[in-house]
């Protein structure tokens, strides 16, 4: 599903005479905190970060059911230390019915024979059964070499699992699959950022332009030779109740203001190779506003990656039409911070890359995400090729996952 992150309290402002004192006190406290951060960078800032992502999909029974199904499938396919190598995730398809939108997930599993397929189908059914009557599994043996399991939640088709035996589903690429891992929303926790820098992986770091540790993180990334991006705040649909933080591009701004703010942000992320957006579900649906941003990026020879916080985004198609090197996010790794969920999302990313040759994942500076990437370091260093995000844009069409039957 699309990003769903917890909003955090941002305090308030009183509009009476005493309120002026309160605002001044808050502002002064912020300056003191920033000053301490400069002289004592090991101290964590007291300024709370904005929400990592907007609530673009309202929490619902369907969303909870989708997570339960994903977890059940994970338990069926990835038990023990040996991960099922034959699992391939295809491109998710968007569904829309009765004002509910969701992603239909398709998995291909290459298994040795029909007996193995039936055994796996039985295991999946056993994992789903305790979840209640709102979740159901229907199995169809479509050919003598394939069993298809259709999973439904609340009457909606949510997952399609193809168990293929007696033949091997051909891959549509040559060589090792490639993935790019973007760590964005950086700027508020220097210690956590450095922990991600220390991973032995060529991660891409997308930094917020206005945050207590923006400059320090940019300098550390340059010192270590890591790829940098600007994490550009943009207006979400539920603005201002969902706040993208300081320096956000808003739909009410004219071209002059958008260009001025964008230029200032890029100057703060010195050495940035590209841009992806923070929040932005409303802004990225506007052709006129996104056109301004993308034209400016093209002038500067920068690439754009659509974080895809809304299904109605126009950003990627516009970038392609302009000839701007571009790509899209395929998987958010850590919308839910349970270790099992993050591992499933990593497997989803790897499975999509095995199918198409490449996929782009976005993660955030959480300790749970850091631990998961530490656990996956060996596999990521051997089973796939982790590359900077810039290598999956341009001549390679990273936004298109090729389907072969």
Q: Say if 146 falls within a structural domain.
A: yes
Same-domain status, 159 and 216: no
Structural domains in the chain (count): 2
- Say if residue 167's pLDDT is above 80: no
pLDDT at 101: 66
pTM equals 0.82
CA dist 130 and 194 (Å) reads 42
Task: Count the helix, strand and coil residues of the chain and give each as a percent rounded to the nearest 5.
Answer: 40, 25, 40
Q: Quote the pLDDT of residue 97.
A: 58
HSE at residue 66, side-chain half, CA atoms within 13 A, is: 22
Residue 142 lies in a domain: yes
Identify whether residues 185 and 212 lie together within a single domain: yes
Q: How confident is the model at residue 44 (pLDDT cuts 50, 70, 90)?
A: very low
pLDDT of residue 29 exceeding 50: no
Query: What are 217-224's contacts with CB under 8 Å, separation 24+?
Result: 217/186, 217/187, 217/190, 217/193, 218/268, 218/269, 218/270, 218/271, 220/193, 220/194, 221/197, 221/271, 222/270, 222/271, 224/197
Is residue 23 one of the residues assigned to a domain? no
pLDDT, mean of residues 227-242 = 94
**Same domain? 107 vs 207:** no
CB atoms within 10 A of CB 272: 25
Peptide bond into 225 cis (omega under 30): no
Residues 193 and 363 sit within 8 Å (Cβ to Cβ): no
Same domain membership, residue 230 and residue 114 = no
pLDDT at 171: 56
Name the more confident of 131 and 395: 131
pLDDT digits (tens, 9 = 90+) for 353-394: 988 889 999 999 999 999 999 999 998 988 899 999 999 996
Mind listing the pLDDT tens digit for each residue in 45-86?
456 776 776 664 446 788 889 889 999 998 888 865 444 567
Provide the pLDDT for residue 399.
Answer: 42
Q: Which two tokens stand for residue 103?
A: 């992603």
pLDDT above 70: percentage of residues in the chain: 77
178 three-state secondary structure: strand
- Give yes or no for residue 144 having a pLDDT over 90: no
Q: Residue 366 falls within a domain, yes or no?
A: yes
Q: What is the CATH number of the domain that holds 345?
A: 3.20.20.370
Question: Under a CB-based contact definition with an 8 Å cutoff, are residues 130 and 76 in contact?
Answer: no
Q: Is residue 138 one of the residues assigned to a domain?
A: yes
Of 162, 161, 170, 171, the residue nearest 143 (C-alpha): 162
106 and 138 inside one domain = yes
Phi, psi of 151 (to 5 degrees): -105, 135
pLDDT over 80 (residue 334): yes
Residues 154 and 285 occupy one common structural domain? no
Tell me, yes or no, whether 385 and 340 share the same domain. yes
Domain assignment of residue 211, given as a range: 178-392
Phi and psi torsions of 143, nearest 5°: -140, 180
Q: Point out the least confidently predicted range of 73-87, 201-215, 331-345, 351-365.
A: 73-87
- Shared domain for 127 and 268, answered yes or no, is no
Residue 150 lies in a domain: yes
Q: Is residue 239 part of a domain?
A: yes
Query: What pLDDT is recorded for position 364?
Result: 96
β-bridge partners, 363 = 183
Specify whether 211 is located in the same domain as 232.
yes
323 within a domain of the structure (yes/no): yes
Query: What are the tens digits of pLDDT across the range 278-302?
Result: 999 999 999 999 999 999 999 999 9
The model's confidence at residue 109, banded by pLDDT at 50, 70 and 90, is confident
- Residue 85, pLDDT score: 63
Among 141, 165, 189, give the residue marking a domain's end: 165
Token reading at 79: 């038990």
């Amino acid at each position: 599903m699309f990003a769903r992150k917890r909003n955090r309290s941002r305090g308030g402002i009183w509009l009476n005479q005493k309120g002026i004192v309160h605002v001044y006190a808050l502002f002064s406290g912020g300056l003191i905190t920033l000053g301490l951060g400069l002289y004592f960078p090991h101290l964590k800032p007291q300024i709370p970060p904005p929400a990592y992502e907007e609530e673009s999909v309202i929490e619902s029974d369907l969303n909870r059911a989708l997570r339960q199904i994903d977890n059940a499938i994970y338990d069926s396919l990835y038990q023990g230390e040996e991960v099922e190598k034959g699992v391939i995730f295809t491109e998710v398809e968007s569904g829309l019915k009765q004002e509910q939108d969701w992603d239909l997930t398709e998995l291909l599993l290459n298994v040795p024979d029909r007996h193995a397929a039936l055994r796996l189908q039985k295991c999946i059914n056993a994992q789903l059964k305790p979840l209640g009557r709102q979740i159901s599994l229907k199995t169809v043996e479509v050919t003598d070499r394939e069993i298809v399991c259709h999973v439904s939640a609340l009457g909606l088709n949510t997952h399609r699992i193809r168990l293929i035996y007696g033949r091997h589903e051909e891959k549509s690429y040559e060589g090792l699959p490639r993935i790019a891992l973007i760590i964005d929303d950086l700027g508020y926790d220097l210690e956590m950022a450095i922990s991600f820098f220390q991973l032995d992986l060529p991660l891409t770091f997308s930094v917020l332009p206005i945050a207590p540790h923006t400059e320090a993180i940019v300098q550390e990334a340059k010192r270590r030779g890591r790829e940098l991006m600007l994490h550009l705040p943009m207006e979400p649909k539920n603005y201002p109740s969902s706040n993208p933080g300081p320096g956000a591009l808003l739909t009410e701004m004219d071209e002059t203001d958008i260009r001025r703010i964008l230029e200032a942000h890029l100057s703060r992320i010195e050495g940035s190779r590209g841009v992806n957006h923070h929040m932005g579900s409303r802004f990225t649906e506007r052709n006129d506003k996104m056109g301004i941003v993308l034209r400016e990026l093209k002038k500067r020879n920068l690439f754009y990656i659509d974080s895809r916080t809304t299904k109605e985004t126009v950003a990627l198609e516009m970038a392609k039409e302009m000839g701007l090197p571009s790509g899209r996010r395929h998987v958010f790794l850590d919308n839910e911070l349970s270790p099992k969920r993050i591992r499933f999302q990593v497997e989803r990313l790897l499975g999509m890359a095995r199918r198409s040759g490449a996929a782009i994942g976005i993660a955030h500076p959480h300790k749970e995400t850091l631990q998961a990437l530490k656990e996956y370091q060996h596999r990521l260093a051997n089973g796939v090729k982790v590359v900077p995000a810039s290598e999956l844009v341009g001549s390679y069409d990273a936004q298109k996952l090729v389907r072969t039957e």
